[in-house]
Structure 1
């Protein structure tokens, strides 16, 4: 199954539209959102075209295709307006016989590992910095940020298919790739 993985939309209608366009263009069957969907948070500037109500409308139209985890900016009020679950701390995916522990990254991260085994993958957002690399006996994957990237990265998302995690910019250019 082809999955589009994204994190940290932070209420940007501009980048949510770009994300949904990429989702359609990529032909993905499901979208995995790694949290911080609607609110920009007190540490971030307002993202381009900050319009959480518009983001709600756009994402709710895809409610049956979205799986999401809670970010540090999600609250119960977000669940009241979003038509798909957003308050789980993590989800488990399996790729090529390896567990992929998907979470936002503010609780479970490389400094505070969840229960994973050697060869498994920690997939998270939160840092707004894209990654696809080996660290010790596990892999760390981060699709970067859809709307507020950091450390000079462009706005990005990732495709997960057949064990390959491919980070792309919104022009479709591959930035980084890793296979489990």
Structure 2
């Protein structure tokens, strides 16, 4: 089973559509959205094709496939237009024998990890910078930003597959890769 990891859409319909194309191309079963779906936030410029209503409509078409957490730019009103829960600080899912902890990164992050067991996977967004590392036995993953990458990184997403986590750009180029043993 594959899970697509996306974060920081920030209301860009252009990049939300790219993320859905990646979901279809990767033949993933679920989409984990790591927050900041609809709004750009006061510190960010307007992203390409800024259209929060259009993003909500697009994502609502996949609501039965989405597991989402709240980002620092998300608010309660977002749940009024989205057909899936978005206000949880984190979500935990089981993937085989692993626990996968999903969060945005503004509360829990690599400097403030929740209690996890060796071999578990911590997935966050927020920084807009891709990461795939094993830190003290915990796999720490950030798929980067769908719409607003930082530090000269490309627009990107992640894929959890059986024994690996891949981070790719929208052309399908591999940016980061880590085996989860």
The interval holding the TM-score normalised by the smaller chain is over 0.9
Aligned to 1:56: 56
Aligned to 2:23: 23
Tell me if structure 2 keeps the 8 A contact 1:99–1:120: yes
Q: Show CA shifts across 1:42-85 (max 9, x none).
A: 11111111110110110011111111011111111000000011
Deviation at 1:97, TM superposition (A): 2.3
Deviation at 1:25, TM superposition (A): 1.1
TM-score for the superposition, normalised by structure 1: 0.96
Report which stretch shifted further, 47-56 or 94-103.
94-103
Question: Superposition RMSD on alpha carbons, in Å?
Answer: 1.1
In 1: Cα distance, 2:74 partner to 2:62 partner: 19
- DSSP-derived class of the 1:70 partner: coil
Unmatched tracts of structure 1, length 5 or more: none
- DSSP-derived class of the 2:158 partner: strand
Aligned to 2:10: 10
In 2: Cα distance, 1:82 partner to 1:144 partner: 23
Matches within 5 A, 1:1-180: 1-180=1-180
- DSSP-derived class of the 2:59 partner: helix
Tell me if structure 2 keeps the 8 A contact 1:95–1:163: no
Tell me if structure 2 keeps the 8 A contact 1:167–1:174: yes
Deviation at 1:96, TM superposition (A): 4.8
In 1: Cα distance, 2:101 partner to 2:23 partner: 22
Deviation at 1:173, TM superposition (A): 1.1
Task: Report the CA distance shift for 1:74/1:68 in structure 2 as closer, same or farther (over 3 A).
Answer: same
In 1: Cα distance, 2:18 partner to 2:137 partner: 35
TM-score for the superposition, normalised by structure 2: 0.95
Q: Show CA shifts across 1:77-109 (max 9, x none).
A: 000000011011111123452322111010011
In 1: Cα distance, 2:95 partner to 2:178 partner: 12
